[in-house]
Amino acid sequence: TLPRDVARAPEQAQAATSEFGRELRAGLSRRMRSVSPKFFYDVEGSALFDRICDLPEYYPTRTELRILTDRAGEIAAQIGPNAEIIEFGAGSLTKVRLLLDALETPRRYVPIDISGEHLEAAAARLRADYPQLAVQPVAADYTMPLVLPAQAEGAGRRVGFFPGSTLGNFTPDEALAFLQLSARLLRGGGLLLGVDLVKDPALLHAAYNDAQGVTAAFNLNLLRRANAELQTDFDVDGFTHAAFYNAPLQRIEMHLVSRRAQTVTLDGEAFAFAEGETIHTEHSHKFTIDGLRSLAIKAGFTPAAVWTDPDRLFSVHWLQA
Ligand code: AVJ
């Protein structure tokens, strides 16, 4: 409950804040304290993530863009004409342009993202550049069953687009559940899925522990957001960024580590941290090509093509539904 004097945030921002508050309280109450990485992306967090994408150590974004650019023709050939593109977690709508430019008369683009307002602004820019394309944003949680506008007659395949290895944020069970949902939603079409590949742990470590400390700022920003939106009293300098590769589980784990014994209050409830105790903030799972293929088959897809960069850092899969 916001103190009386705080200016009423718009409905949506308030709902997001209260969801953030509920999930943070629940997350801090668990023994292994954790909070979902979806809360990284406030305005500051999104700006920090954009900077991460340009870091020399963070290869995934530029590598995926290169694959989408170099193999656009082959990807378009798999998808076919008059396609409808459904993008899960559509950020700034830049990657999809590579796809739209390669496809033969794409008919419709349905970006799905939890935050509606920035989606609408990006969609308006896209409409201006692609006048033949029906752009219909949907503000929703794409991990839940989706109801989409019925396909227009003469429409081609329904194609899911899930780039960026965001699938890696899910646990294996969550990833399977999401892929099973997608296979049903995209029946008759397919899913174009970008995933980061298992590789030299030193490369993975560097990608989440950049020399400039941008990833550390991105991770710590979560505490700044909690202080700003939930009136918590995190001493941000009292926590440090930690990211390490858990090789058996094939994932980068990101945590915020308490430097010392300290107490944080949220809504009047105190949460004591021992020195070294952490808040788990993100899993970033890495995949092998065969591992992803068997997960896709288990979810009801038929893997039809895969493209990688020359150094096999990243992979883009075409999975027929
Ligand atoms: C946007 C979830 C794919 O897991 O690599 C980047 C987020 N976290 N640096 C990732 C992230 C730390 C990124 N994803």
State residue 151's pLDDT score. Answer: 82
Ligand 1: centre distance to CA 31 (Å): 24
Token pair of 272 as six digits: 């004591």
State residue 126's pLDDT score. Answer: 94
Distance CA(158)–CA(191), nearest Å, equals: 9
Residue written as tokens 């939603």?
185
Residue written as tokens 């070294």?
276
Q: Residue 68 above 50 pLDDT?
A: yes
State residue 8's pLDDT score. Answer: 52
pTM: 0.91
Ligand 1: centre distance to CA 284 (Å): 7
State residue 310's pLDDT score. Answer: 97
Backbone φ, ψ for residue 275 (5° rounding): -55, 130
Q: Residue 9 above 90 pLDDT?
A: no
Backbone φ, ψ for residue 167 (5° rounding): -55, -30
State residue 118's pLDDT score. Answer: 75
**Average pLDDT, whole number, for the chain?**
93
Q: Name residues contacting ligand 1 (CB within 6 A).
A: 52, 60, 164-166, 168-169, 208, 215, 282, 284
Q: What is the pLDDT of residues 236-256, one digit of tens each?
A: 999 999 999 999 999 999 999
User: Could you tell me if 24 and 225 are in contact, meaning their C-beta atoms sit under 8 angstroms apart?
Assistant: no
Ligand 1: centre distance to CA 245 (Å): 13
Q: What is the pLDDT of residues 175-232, one digit of tens each?
A: 999 999 999 999 999 999 999 999 999 999 999 999 999 999 999 999 999 999 999 9
State residue 5's pLDDT score. Answer: 41
Pocket test for ligand 1, best of 94, 251, 284 (most atoms within 8 A of CB): 284
Return the ligand 1 atom nearest residue 252 CA: 4
User: Could you tell me if 219 and 253 are in contact, meaning their C-beta atoms sit under 8 angstroms apart?
Assistant: no
Averaged pLDDT for residues 10-25: 85
State residue 1's pLDDT score. Answer: 43
Pocket test for ligand 1, best of 282, 313, 316 (most atoms within 8 A of CB): 282
pLDDT band at 39 (very low <50, low <70, confident <90, very high): very high
User: Could you tell me if 203 and 59 are in contact, meaning their C-beta atoms sit under 8 angstroms apart?
Assistant: yes
Q: What is the pLDDT of residues 100-125, one digit of tens each?
A: 999 999 999 999 988 777 788 889 99
Q: What is the percent of the chain where pLDDT is above 70? A: 97
Q: What is the pLDDT of residues 140-167, one digit of tens each?
A: 888 888 888 888 788 899 999 999 999 9
Return the SS3 of 94: coil
Q: Which of 9-13, 47-51, 165-169, 194-198 shows the lowest mean pLDDT across its residues?
A: 9-13
Backbone φ, ψ for residue 198 (5° rounding): -55, 140
pLDDT band at 2 (very low <50, low <70, confident <90, very high): very low
